[in-house]
Amino acid sequence: MSTSAPKVKHAWLRALGPADLPAGIDLADGTYTHLRTYKHDFFAATGLYEGPSGKVILKMERTASLLGLPMTWLGRRLAERELAVYRELQGVPGVPRCYDLWAATGLVHAFVEGHPLQRKERVNDEFFDRLGQLIDEIHRRRIAYVDLEKRENILVGADGRPALIDFQISWWWPTDRGRRRGLGRALPDALGGYILTKLQAADRYHLLKHRRRHRPDLLTPAQIQESYQCGPLVRIHRRVSRPFTAMRRTVLKALTGRWRSPKQDGPEFLEPVAGENLKPQINADKRR
């Protein structure tokens, strides 16, 4: 007697609706098998796969319809946009290699051995200097990371070095107008450059804030004081995002019994792998 798959409650909250990440994906060098799902929230589902060349991450943007409206077009645009940023940053130490798109809304990139930066984690003395160098290189390529506020986007590699994932909302402003995407093609050069400058300043503020939270012993009193002085863009973001976040958590609590959606922010959010008795390896890609 055949059994049907269990019905998913509140499937509209999931990027893939009632569906899960595929059991396997075919890449250029062969088939990669799904090991675990790191998160499956409203915007994207992210999972770990293993195949001929090792481990990779598949991030699938939203395909499920919302209120009867198709959303695959949005998922495709988001995946293509993030791929463009990854390609601009290829070869930068601390940015995982991105391979290509998969299916309509999927993005495949290399797995980073390590874990997301944990609350109150004490990293090594060089960690934030190296993260600062990584941010500087991203800025040099006329990109603002934008999402550095989220601690789970910062990976602590197995070698103790930092890495960044999830460039979905990064702001890229190339000098060549033909390389700009979407709305960027319609914005005046001066306005786009101004936005880039302000967002990069916000990146530097969040970097200093993380330094203060994790290694205050390496900061001077002046730097600690500076870490509390956010700019107007950060203050506006807080005023807009905090009510939205509170509302989202209230809805999640009412519907699912949880205050937050699962994300790669510690072993408690991992799906167990049958028969595996190893310490979980947490990676790359949420963010958010």
Structure confidence at residue 264 (pLDDT)? 40
CB-CB contact of 35 with 58 (8 Å): no
Structure confidence at residue 244 (pLDDT)? 54
Domain boundary assignment for the chain: 11-269
In angstroms, the CA 16 to CA 2 distance is 24
Dihedral sign (CA 28, 31, 37, 43): positive
Written as tens digits, the pLDDT of the chain (288 aa) is: 444 555 667 788 899 999 999 999 999 999 999 999 999 988 999 999 999 999 999 999 999 999 889 999 999 999 999 999 999 999 999 999 999 999 989 999 999 999 999 998 999 999 999 999 999 999 999 999 999 999 999 999 999 999 999 999 999 999 988 888 877 888 899 999 999 999 999 999 999 999 999 999 999 999 999 999 876 666 665 566 566 556 555 655 555 556 554 444 444 433 333 333 333 333 333 333
Going by the DSSP 8-state scheme, the letter that residue 272 receives in this structure is P
11-269, which class in CATH?
A: mainly alpha
Structure confidence at residue 7 (pLDDT)? 67
Instruction: Quickly list DSSP for 195-234.
Output: HHHHHHHHHHHHHHHHHHHH-GGGS-HHHHHHTT---HHH
Structure confidence at residue 233 (pLDDT)? 62
The reported pTM is: 0.80
- Give the amino acid at 116: P
- Give the amino acid at 74: L
Structure confidence at residue 49 (pLDDT)? 98
Alpha helices in 13-108 (DSSP H): 72-88
Structure confidence at residue 281 (pLDDT)? 36
CB-CB contact of 264 with 38 (8 Å): yes
Q: 166 exposed, middle or buried (CB, 10 Å; 0-12, 13-18, 19+)?
A: buried
